[in-house]
Amino acid sequence: MTRNKEDYIKEIYKLGGAEQQVNNKQIAEILNVSPASVTEMLGKLQKEELIVYEPYKGTKLTEEGMKAAVTLLRGHRLWEVFLIEHLGYTWSEAHEDAERLEHVAPARLIDRLEKYLDYPAFCPHGNAIPQADGKMRIPKLKSLVEMQAGESSTIRRVTEENDLMDYLQELGIHIGSKVVVEEFGACEGPVTIRVDNTQKQLSYKAAGMVYVDEK
């Protein structure tokens, strides 16, 4: 499969395409391509039986498409663990280079990498890493903006967007940090939080992309 096709399959999966139909607009937005190229590519993927595409309804992954997506995510997330733990990468650097490595590493290498890293369950950004059989543990989370002022929880995941990850890392936000939401600014203003006993302010938009334990 070409890298481009693999990226489609992976993004469709991340948009929920294993369980439900994903619409073309969502795919175009996330991959930053025109609706026409999405339609064209979906035709190709359908021919290869990786997806089922119904015009005006959307796209769902076939069993084979799902397997391909899970394999890509598994490689991506294991590489991220390696790059951060062993090569001192930042969050965004690791995400960027894992985007390349996921397309070239054979399954044997990924299995050995997983063993070497001692079977991590989550990537450094908090996303679940699928096991070789495709199983993964997905915890129930909610975003910081779904919390109440005064509520405390633990940071478990951040959205993998490079600018956001750099911003959060500069602020000293870590996966596993204890967090208390102290105050929400009026009209979706800045959110004041306390992380590991230091007060910080986060834009409302960024706070919506940081996830904590649901309870």
Question: Contacts with Zn ion: how many residues (CB under 5 A)?
Answer: 4
Structure-block tokens of residue 156: 């478990």
Chain residues 5-64 in contact with Zn ion, contact rule CB under 5 A: none
Smallest separation, CB 95 to Zn ion (Å): 6
* CB proximity list for 88: less than 8 A, separation 6 or greater: none
Smallest separation, CB 83 to Zn ion (Å): 10
Chain residues 107-126 in contact with Zn ion, contact rule CB under 5 A: 123, 125
Chain residues 59-88 in contact with Zn ion, contact rule CB under 5 A: 80
CB 23 within 8 A of CB 38: no
Smallest separation, CB 119 to Zn ion (Å): 16
CB 9 within 8 A of CB 73: no
Cα separation, 196 vs 86, in Å, equals: 25
Rank residues 51 and 105 by Cβ distance to Zn ion and give the closer one.
105
Instruction: Give CA separation, 50 vs 20, 53, 73, 101, 146, in Å.
Output: 15, 10, 16, 22, 36
Structure-block tokens of residue 50: 């990786």
Smallest separation, CB 159 to Zn ion (Å): 10
Q: Is 101 in the site for Zn ion (CB under 5 A)?
A: no
Chain residues 127-156 in contact with Zn ion, contact rule CB under 5 A: 127
Residue nearest to Zn ion (CB): 123
Smallest separation, CB 80 to Zn ion (Å): 4
Residue entry with tokens 């294993």: 18
- What residues make contact with Zn ion under the rule CB under 5 A? 80, 123, 125, 127
